[in-house]
Structure formats: structure tokens, C-alpha cells
Amino acid sequence: MAPRPAGRIPLPLLPHFSAKRSLVTCRYRCGNQCAHEPSNTSSNTYFGDLVERVLTRRGALKAGGVLALTVGGAAALSGTAAAERTRPTGGSGRPVPGTDFAPVAPNTEDRVVVPDGYRQNVVIRWGDPVLPGAPEFDFDDQTPEAQEKQFGYNNDFAGLLPLDPHGRKHLLVVNHEYTTESHMFPGYDEENPTEQQVRTAWAAHGLSVVLVERGRDGLVPRMSGYNRRITLTTEFELRGPAAGSDLLKTSADPTGTRVLGTQNNCSGSVTPWGTVLSGEENVHQYFANADRITDPVAKRRLERYGISGGPSERKWERFDSRWDVGEELNESNRFGWIVEIDPYDPNSTPVKHTALGRFKHESASVTIAEDGRVVAYSGDDERFEYIYKFVSNGKVKPGRSAHARRHNMALLDSGTLYVARFTGNSPEEEIDGSGELPSDGAFDGTGEWIPLASGNRSFVPGMSADEVYVFTREAADRVGATKMDRPEDIEPNPVNGRVYCALTNNSNRGAAGNAGPDEANPRVHNKHGHVLEIDDDPTGREFRWNLLLVCGDPQDPGTYFGGFDKSQVSPISCPDNVAFDRHGNLWITTDGNELGSNDGLFAVPVTGPERGKVKQFLTVPIGAETCGPVVTDDLVAVCVQHPGELDGASADNPASHWPDGGSSRPRPAVVAVWREDGGEIGAS
Ligand code: FEO
Ligand code: CA
Ligand code: CA
């Protein structure tokens, strides 16, 4: 294919480490987001589609010409997949390095299933000790004081940061996305949670930092001075252009710069300067009594973020009025950010970055442009929401000196925030909602990054810069961003520089009153999701894109596996988190498999003859979702989130007995997987 546009430089300052969702999961994880109409009721899709299609037809040559200057040829606007297939990587009939393992078959077993020749260990479970003095976990005697020293609930993102040059000791950093009280507390009364249960749940949110040591039996947690729990009562600093805004002030924090805690931390990433970014996602569900708000602007803005109605699911407002928007309207504005944690400094104050905008951040992932500026990509995980990127003003400083770290940790404070608009290159009538490819053989096209704000300057008519950062969804509506099918993880591939985004599903695509299919979201009632590949100039305004995968049953004609022979791939449904191995293969976890089997972790080459050959590496126990993941040369780690979280199950009636077996109740946990012979993951 054509040469890549100016892009990333290989400057990792750290080594590269590289069953359908139950109703109870919907309820506790997302606040039943999918049971409501999507929050995005803006008309911009229809307007945007119209404009995009008119522009596509009238200005195809012009657009192609502009891109030709950038990427070296208008012909590259289509046929990306075909061009990729001619690359020799992985030739000679041998599997692509990193993916040479016998795929795990779809199953519904109550265990973690790994390929033949691989072993696994449970690294750490909910309730295991993190800090000195943590009591042994006791299901029947949980306290906030104990939980503050123990590993939190529902692990999602995992990152491994090196502590020694030999690769033996690492800091494991894990997000604890949400609590499922009915599965945590025996005898839980959802109408009358006790204060002890509520405060325990606050302590079970947040993040954990744990030293782990690599040995013959996998990864083993150790007590250390680095170990840390961050919870809903840990102080955070709000930074960036909206810090101190009136929109962020509360009676407890008249400065608008200090927030207690982080919540619903979904996915994340390790930055090149050795910190962790974590996305505050479904934060709406924790706030009560929006029905007391009468001001129409405030009400509209709450609703745009899914905050409506009376009491909250967890009833936290009974124990702290900050969860009651009728009492503290601005408290909800202080959640929904990208947070940054420095795991190497257990005394550091974690940061919320206002420059990256406020929405339901799945995550944010950073790459370094050729000129040294940093670029962070982020998805807003709700149906019909948007994809964003942030380009810093400052440039990264190499090295690990205190000065360089301080400098780099301020890079996300100033820059420009953009939102994506996608334009397809196939005729509208060929995007019929079935998922079958248009006549040019690809769902593909071009796109542009629309600026929203930079520092104190707003690019959105009618909104101040503070309003753009705090009500970013509204800003994106106004500029005609493209409504996507739930953007989850979005990460740059460190080998080929392209950016990959999991769009997990969207049952409402094409439903009455909702946006219909477009080339970037080509299926109506999209149950299985798709994976987007973006060829971006990190600091530029234009990009090319194509769909690498249109997920589902390979026998379904409305699926696509990068053009690879569909009789030879593993079925995959509802892609969620992504990672890359050192060969540049894409690893994908799934959440809510709609094909009747457990969720899993999959590897797929993105170049060469095996581009699109999806292979399942592991599956997780029943009711669980696969999160993380971490893929290194000789170890894979995943977070097993919400095992046994099936409808009708509870702490008193467990549906899973993983990981402890017998009649035990399930516990979310981190699992490490390695080759029995100690060899490289997926090597021939
Ligand atoms: Fe927490 Fe978007 O998954
Ligand atoms: Ca096309
Ligand atoms: Ca996720």
C-alpha cells in the first residue's frame, strides 16, 4: 500500500509490554444504559450524513487530491485490505509469529481455558491483600477499612510496568470498574443498603497498584512500598484548561480543582513516560435525583450524559449528598475524565485531565508523533457516541529523570481536542445494513478530525472552552461528528502506527428514531460489533480508515475477517479491549459474546496473507468478561471481570465457583498465562 503519512517515532521510554451480557451486568456496570434510549438524541447524524454524502459525491476528486498529497496516492483510498494481503509477512505457509497456537474452541466452561502447551495462575483476586495489615478476605465480614487495603472489585484494565532490568519484577496496575452489590454481599437488600456496604463499595472502586514477581509459577503478588489502593475517597487534582471552572466547583471544593475519588474506571493504557491513564466511563449511574433539576439547560446537559430520574441504583446519596445532583449539581461534572496515576510514586496525587474532554471514556492511549508531540486517542462508549483525539502542545522529553517525568506528566494539560467525522467511499445504496461488502470490496473511506477546543479557545459556536471540556458530547453534536457503534478501546499499533478501535455493538443502529447504517457502522441492529483500522497522521486533520473485522458467526454473510478465509477463523463477538504483541498482531478481548459461548481473548494478524485470521487464545468462566489484556513476549495477563454474573445469581446463589472451586462464591481476579516450556507466546 501507499507509504504511511508522517507518524509515530519508535520512542517508547519503557520496554513494550507488550454469553451474552446478563441484565445484572447491564444494571450494575452501565446503569442499564442499553435499556434506555441512547443519550445522543442530537440530529447531527442525519445532517452529517447528508453533508458527508454530498461532499463525497461532489468533492471526491478534491478530497482524494488532498489526501494524495498526504499519503502518496488517491488509489490508496480504497483497497487497503487487498494491498495489505500482498505483503509477505508470515509467508511460507507458517503461522504469523505471535499467533502460532492451537485456537481454543468456543465453550461454556466455568474455568479459564488456554491453548494446549500453556499454563496459567490466578495472580490476585478481589479481597486479596494489597497493603500491610489487610485482613484475610471474609465474604461474611466485609468492612470499608479492610477493603481499602485489599484488591478491589471487578478488575478491568491491567498494565504491567517494569521495576527491574531483568523483567522479573513489575508493578501491576488494575482498574476496579464497578461493584455488583448483589454478588458481593450475602443477603443484600437493594432497597436498603447499609452504610457499611456502601462505604465498602466506595473502597472497592478505583485502582490497585501491586508489585508482582515473575517466577516459574506465573506472576505472584508481593507486599511492597509501591503497593497502593486508590478509591472513591482518594484526593485527585483537576488539571488542564477547565480546572477551576465554575462548572467544576462544589460546596466541598470551592476551587474546582480537588475531587475525591475516581469511579467506573474501565480500560486504560501505560504512557511512554511510565504512568497509567484510566477512563472514567459509566459515571452517570451513581448520581441521584436529577428529576429535582428544573433549569432546562442544566437538565438537558445531565440527560445528555444519561443522568436522569430519582434515586440511584446503589443509593449512595443517602450517605453522602455529593451523589445527589439536587444538592450538588456540579459533582457529576467532576467525573467522566481521563485520570493519570504515577505508580512509581505511591505518594503522588492522581490527576484528572480536563483537556481530554468529559464523556464516558473507555480509555485513552498515547502515541508520540514524529515531532515529539503526544497524541491521545479516546472513545466514548455508548451507542451513537464519538471518537476523539487530543494533540499536545508540548513535546516529550526522553529519559527517566525527575525533570523529564515532571515535564511529560504535564503534556496532557495543554493541546487541542478533536472529534472524528467519517466519510465512506462507496455509494449509499451499497451500504444496505446487512454487513455485506460494497462493490469496492471494503468498508472504507476518509475522515477528518474536527477541532473542539484548544486551551481557552473554543472552536464550537455558542460554547465557551470550559463548556466544551465539561460538556464535550454537546460540543461534538454541534460540529457534526459521526455517531459510532459504541467506541471501546482505541489504541495505536506500535509496529505499523495504525490506530485500532473496537466498536463493540449497537442494537439500536437503524431502529426507529435512530441513525441508520453508514459505511463506518454498516450493520443495522449491530449485535456483534466491528473493528476499525485508522491510518492517521497523528498530528494532522485527515485520515483514512477501513473495517478490519465485521464480527459475528463467520458463516453469516454479513461478517468480514480482513478478507481472510472465513472457514478458518475463530468466531468473535463484541470486541472490547485491544493490545498488541511485539510483532504488531492485534489482541482483542470480548464483552458479552452474542454467539452463545463464553467471552475470550483473540489474536489476529493485521498484515500479510493472514491478515484477519482471528484465533481464540483463551476463554473466561461463565458470566465473565475478558478484560485487560497485557501481552508480553512470554506472558499474557487478563482480568476476569464479573465471573458468574448471570441473571438470578447472587452472593447467596452463585452461578460460578471460579476461581476457588467447590461451592465457593466467584471472585473477579487477574490471570497470567505462559508457555509450559517458557518460550515466546505464539512463537513457532
Ligand atoms: Fe466498561 Fe466500555 O466497557
Ligand atoms: Ca468502500
Ligand atoms: Ca470495556
Paired residues of 158 in beta bridges: 174
The three-state secondary structure class of 680 is coil
User: With a 6 A CB cut-off, is 281 part of the ligand 1 pocket?
Assistant: yes
Residue 11, pLDDT above cutoff 60: no
Under 8 Å between Cβ of 446 and 423? yes
pLDDT digits (tens, 9 = 90+) for 517-572: 999 999 999 999 999 999 999 999 999 999 999 999 999 999 999 999 999 999 99
User: With a 6 A CB cut-off, is 599 part of the ligand 1 pocket?
Assistant: no
C-alpha cell at 205: 472502586
Q: Report the distance separating Cα 509 and Cα 504, nearest Å.
A: 12
SS3 track for 45-57? HHHHHHHHHHHHH
**Nearest ligand to the C-alpha of residue 505?**
1
What are φ and ψ of residue 75, in 5° steps? Answer: -60, -25
User: With a 6 A CB cut-off, is 266 part of the ligand 1 pocket?
Assistant: yes
Atom from ligand 1 closest to the CA of residue 360? 2
**Nearest ligand to the C-alpha of residue 545?**
2
Atom from ligand 1 closest to the CA of residue 504? 2
Q: Hey, what amino acid is at 380?
A: D
pLDDT digits (tens, 9 = 90+) for 326-341: 999 999 999 999 999 9
The environment of the single-atom ion ligand 3, i.e. residues with CB closer than 5 A, is 266, 488, 576
C-alpha cell at 562: 480482513
pLDDT-based confidence at residue 92 (cuts at 50, 70, 90): low
Among 439, 430, 595, 418, residue whose Cα is nearest residue 505: 595
Mean pLDDT across the chain = 90
pLDDT digits (tens, 9 = 90+) for 131-163: 999 999 999 999 999 999 999 999 999 999 999
The environment of the single-atom ion ligand 2, i.e. residues with CB closer than 5 A, is 425-426, 438, 440, 442, 444
Q: Write down the pLDDT at residue 23.
A: 86
What are φ and ψ of residue 241, in 5° steps? Answer: -65, -25
| Count of beta carbons in the 10 Å neighbourhood of residue 215 | 10
**Nearest ligand to the C-alpha of residue 443?**
2
Among 646, 612, 595, 385, residue whose Cα is nearest residue 506: 385
Q: Write down the pLDDT at residue 682.
A: 97
Instruction: Please tell me the total number of residues recorded for the chain in this structure.
Output: 684
User: With a 6 A CB cut-off, is 177 part of the ligand 1 pocket?
Assistant: yes
pLDDT average, residue stretch 21-34: 85
Paired residues of 279 in beta bridges: 338
User: With a 6 A CB cut-off, is 382 part of the ligand 1 pocket?
Assistant: no
**Nearest ligand to the C-alpha of residue 361?**
1
Instruction: Specify the residue with its C-alpha closest to ligand 1, atom 1.
Output: 266
- Domain assignments of the chain as residue spans, ordered by start: 96-283+335-675
DSSP 8-state assignment for residue 506: B
How far, in Å, from the CA of 201 to the mean position of ligand 2? 48
**Nearest ligand to the C-alpha of residue 362?**
1
pLDDT-based confidence at residue 408 (cuts at 50, 70, 90): very high
How far, in Å, from the CA of 112 to the mean position of ligand 1? 21
Q: Report the distance separating Cα 339 and Cα 331, nearest Å.
A: 16
Atom from ligand 1 closest to the CA of residue 30? 1
Q: Which residues contact 640 (CB under 8 A, 6 or more apart)?
A: 112, 155, 620, 621, 624, 625, 626, 627, 658, 659, 668, 669, 670, 671
How far, in Å, from the CA of 631 to the mean position of ligand 1? 20
User: With a 6 A CB cut-off, is 381 part of the ligand 1 pocket?
Assistant: yes
Residue 8, pLDDT above cutoff 90: no
Q: Write down the pLDDT at residue 46.
A: 33
How far, in Å, from the CA of 678 to the mean position of ligand 3? 30
Residue 311, pLDDT above cutoff 90: yes
DSSP 8-state assignment for residue 150: B
The three-state secondary structure class of 604 is strand
How far, in Å, from the CA of 384 to the mean position of ligand 1? 14
Choice among 1-10, 241-250, 656-665 with the minimum mean pLDDT: 1-10
Q: Hey, what amino acid is at 564?
A: F
How far, in Å, from the CA of 436 to the mean position of ligand 2? 11
Q: Write down the pLDDT at residue 93.
A: 66
CA–CA distances in Å: residue 110 to residues 599, 621, 643, 661, 675: 11, 4, 9, 9, 22
Atom from ligand 1 closest to the CA of residue 362? 2
How far, in Å, from the CA of 156 to the mean position of ligand 3? 7
CA–CA distances in Å: residue 649 to residues 28, 223, 589, 659: 13, 34, 24, 16
pLDDT digits (tens, 9 = 90+) for 30-66: 888 877 788 898 876 433 332 232 222 222 222 222 2
pLDDT average, residue stretch 625-636: 97
**Nearest ligand to the C-alpha of residue 28?**
1
Residue 631, pLDDT above cutoff 50: yes
User: With a 6 A CB cut-off, is 52 part of the ligand 1 pocket?
Assistant: no
User: With a 6 A CB cut-off, is 362 part of the ligand 1 pocket?
Assistant: yes
Percent of the chain with pLDDT over 90: 85
pLDDT digits (tens, 9 = 90+) for 660-672: 999 999 999 999 9
pLDDT-based confidence at residue 167 (cuts at 50, 70, 90): confident
Q: Report the distance separating Cα 645 and Cα 664, nearest Å.
A: 14
pTM exceeding the 0.85 threshold for the entire prediction = yes
DSSP 8-state assignment for residue 73: -
pLDDT digits (tens, 9 = 90+) for 574-622: 999 999 999 999 999 999 999 999 999 999 999 999 999 999 999 999 9
pLDDT digits (tens, 9 = 90+) for 450-508: 999 999 999 999 999 999 999 999 999 999 999 999 999 999 999 999 999 999 999 99
How far, in Å, from the CA of 409 to the mean position of ligand 3? 25
Q: Report the distance separating Cα 264 and Cα 314, nearest Å.
A: 13
Q: Which residues contact 146 (CB under 8 A, 6 or more apart)?
A: 134, 135, 137, 138
Q: Write down the pLDDT at residue 19.
A: 56
C-alpha cell at 267: 480500560
Q: Write down the pLDDT at residue 399.
A: 87
Higher pLDDT, 115 or 216: 115
Among 531, 534, 513, residue whose Cα is nearest residue 522: 531
User: With a 6 A CB cut-off, is 280 part of the ligand 1 pocket?
Assistant: no
Atom from ligand 1 closest to the CA of residue 29? 1
How far, in Å, from the CA of 249 to the mean position of ligand 1? 28
Q: Write down the pLDDT at residue 41.
A: 87
How far, in Å, from the CA of 177 to the mean position of ligand 1? 9
How far, in Å, from the CA of 433 to the mean position of ligand 2? 14
